[in-house]
């Protein structure tokens, strides 16, 4: 069995530090690059959708889990595969990480809402491919 690939430490550090992660959802490049919030939990990159709207980045990943992410101003995208997180313990750890990272007055309300269902259930891991 081939080992699971991970992100280089420098990339994880940048995702942890930067407030916004660029993502282009789907493999056909029809989606534009948008900014989303991302956290690193135990070496795993996790994201959540706030609205989970039809045609949005998260719904696109449900149908086509391939994407490109853009980290810390890098011009070249990193290929990833999206996997829905099922573990309640991991979802809770992601909630904690969101609260720590996005703690400004303007962010706190969004983080609290994203820490409850249905947004919490959209927790997705981005795996380097």
The answer to whether residue 1 scores a pLDDT higher than 70 is no
The answer to whether residue 3 scores a pLDDT higher than 90 is no
Q: Domain ranges in the chain?
A: 9-128
Which tokens go with 118? 């249905």
Task: Write the class of the CATH domain 9-128.
Answer: mainly beta
Sole residue written with tokens 């939990």: 41
Asked if 117 contacts 71 with a C-beta cutoff of 8 angstroms, the reply is: no
The answer to whether residue 14 scores a pLDDT higher than 90 is yes
The answer to whether residue 2 scores a pLDDT higher than 50 is no
The answer to whether residue 4 scores a pLDDT higher than 70 is no
Compute the mean pLDDT over every residue in the chain, rounded to the nearest whole number. Answer: 94
Distance between start and end Cα atoms, the chain: 15
- Within 21-116, strands assigned E span 21-25, 34-36, 38-41, 44-47, 66-70, 78-84
Q: What is the pTM of this model?
A: 0.93
Helix (H) / strand (E) containing 9: helix 9-17
pLDDT tens for each residue of 46-60: 999 999 999 999 999
Is residue 90 packed enough to be buried (19+ CB in 10 Å), middle (13-18) or exposed (0-12)? middle
Q: What is the pLDDT of residue 31?
A: 87
């Amino acid at each position: 069995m081939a080992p699971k690939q991970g992100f280089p430490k420098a990339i994880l550090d940048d995702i942890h530090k930067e407030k916004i992660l660029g993502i282009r959802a789907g493999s056909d490049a029809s989606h534009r690059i948008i900014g989303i919030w991302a956290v690193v939990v135990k070496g795993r990159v996790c994201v959540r959708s706030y609205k989970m709207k039809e045609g949005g980045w998260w719904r696109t990943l449900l149908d086509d889990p391939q994407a490109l992410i853009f980290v810390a101003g890098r011009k070249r995208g990193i290929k990833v595969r999206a996997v829905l997180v099922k573990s309640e313990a991991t979802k809770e750890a992601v909630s904690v990480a969101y609260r720590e990272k996005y703690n400004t007055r303007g962010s706190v309300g969004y983080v609290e809402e994203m820490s409850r269902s249905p947004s919490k259930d959209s927790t997705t891991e981005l795996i380097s491919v």
